[in-house]
Structure 1
Amino acid sequence: MSLIVSIDTSTKVCSVALHKEGKLLGLSELFTEKSHSGMLTTLVENVVKQAGYELSQLDAIAVAKGPGSYTGLRIGVSTAKGLSFALDKPLLSVNTLEAMAAQLKDMYGADTLLCPMIDARRMEVYCGVWNTEMGTISEIEAKIIDETAFISLLEKQPIVFFGDGAAKCKSQIAHPNAHFPNTELYPSARTVGVLAHKAFQEQAFENVVSFEPFYLKDFVGTTPKAAQNKA
């Protein structure tokens, strides 16, 4: 059996889900970044309790490891590691973009590709491309979007671009095979838990001591000029 609580704080949405054998039992989502540090532990406790369980009954803790917001990922991973230590439960991690692709995999035909995008800086996004069978078509990367982005794939088949980084790319990716849903889609612990169940079956546990978020890029807190002046 697998009773897994999952955490996703990769973007401004803070979400917690509880799954049993991959089936959703409870979900709580807050659409504000301010909720990450102040409410995350409370959300975990409430989701588990409202489903009729105790934290001690969990079989594992899962977390969306990134890419995404540097601060959000730090909070999510730190909380997940803390719960894993305190409860003596194994830790699982799921790639945020892969979990986003899983949200739409049953909504499109086999000829359509899925490209979740998380906003980075300016015209850059964190992205990857999957098919609806969750096979990787294009590896995860930090990609600067221009009119040539994804052109070789778009010439062959439709691609759905979604996530909080997709809107700013719409003017650049103007190919007829490029589709942008009207609804903005965010990462969610709902699909993190589904992928975590698979990882649990494979016993793909993380080392709680050494595990770190998947930032994809180094965090930049100051401009190069400011950094030089500080040095």
Structure 2
Amino acid sequence: MLLAIDTATRFAGIALYDRNGLLVEQMWRTRDNHTVELMPYIVHACEQQQLVPGALQAIGVSLGPGSFTGVRVGLSVAKGLAMALNIPLLGVPTLDAAAYAHSRETLPVRSVLPAGRGRWCSALYQTIGGKWQRLSDYSLIDSDELATSLTEPTLICGEVDTNLAEDLRESNPENAIVAGPALRARRPGFVAELAWERFVSGGRDDLTSLAPIYLQAA
């Protein structure tokens, strides 16, 4: 059983996942109250499944980019649980999790998260030769740069607000294909799935050195 934690932005969530797949997935919008809200959600999910702490085999956690405080809260809780239970910890980049929901798309997928001050964290993904892969570095760009980066029809997912969606459709209508609100939402179940794939392959991250992913302007 793996517990996944995602508090990278104001859209937070947790999930429980095992060899049969997703068991529990809870998502909520927080007003930067990650510290207060996270543990009650974890406790409720475990109680719902009648799980004792010893039943957990691994912890997956969203690493960012995202909110400075939010990412650190999730990572701190994940490290504490992994250390207390002596189980593997597996970090998952937040943009990877947001994009992975669309891994069966034939189009390129551009994953975005808000970075504040009109800027966006972003990365490009696509399935090539049957393999889902990230095609670009994680980058920090503004909406104009995001629009001009779309050189072919591309699905946009992640935390795309109404203003960005309208800007992209107006400035690059041929190539900006913005997923609907429910489809572009980042789900903790995909953090869990990516972490579980690494876990069953024997992967784990070092508790001491695992660090958040933060992006800085060039």
Instruction: Please give the TM-score of this superposition, normalised by the length of structure 1.
Output: 0.82
- Counterparts in 2 of 1:66 and 1:104: CA distance versus 1, 3 Å: same
Q: Is contact 1:105-1:134 (8 Å) kept?
A: yes
- Match for residue 221 of structure 1? none
Match of residue 62, structure 2, among 55, 61, 64: 64
The CA deviation string for residues 173-215 of structure 1, in whole angstroms up to 9 with x for no partner, is 4241211123163322110000001111232211112222111
Q: Is contact 1:117-1:166 (8 Å) kept?
A: no
2:41 paired with 1:43: yes
Q: Is contact 1:11-1:33 (8 Å) kept?
A: no
Amino acid in the other structure paired with 2:72:
R
Mapped partners of 1:56, 1:179: distance in 2: 44
Amino acid in the other structure paired with 1:70:
F
Match of residue 26, structure 1, among 24, 27, 34: 24
Q: How many residues align?
A: 210
Which structure 2 residues correspond to residues 36-185 of structure 1 after superposition, within 5 A? 36-106=34-104, 108=105, 110=106, 112-132=107-127, 133-146=131-144, 149=146, 151=148, 153-154=150-151, 157-165=152-160, 167-170=162-165, 171-172=167-168, 173-183=171-181, 185=184
Amino acid in the other structure paired with 2:22:
L
- Report the identity percentage: 28
- Match for residue 193 of structure 1? 192
Unaligned runs of 5+ in 2: none
Mapped partners of 2:77, 2:31: distance in 1: 15
Deviation at 1:22, TM superposition (A): 6.3
Could you say which structure has the larger radius of gyration?
1
Over the aligned positions, Cα root-mean-square deviation in angstroms equals: 2.1
Mapped partners of 2:149, 2:186: distance in 1: 27
Secondary structure, counterpart of 1:49 in structure 2: helix
Instruction: Please give the TM-score of this superposition, normalised by the length of structure 2.
Output: 0.87
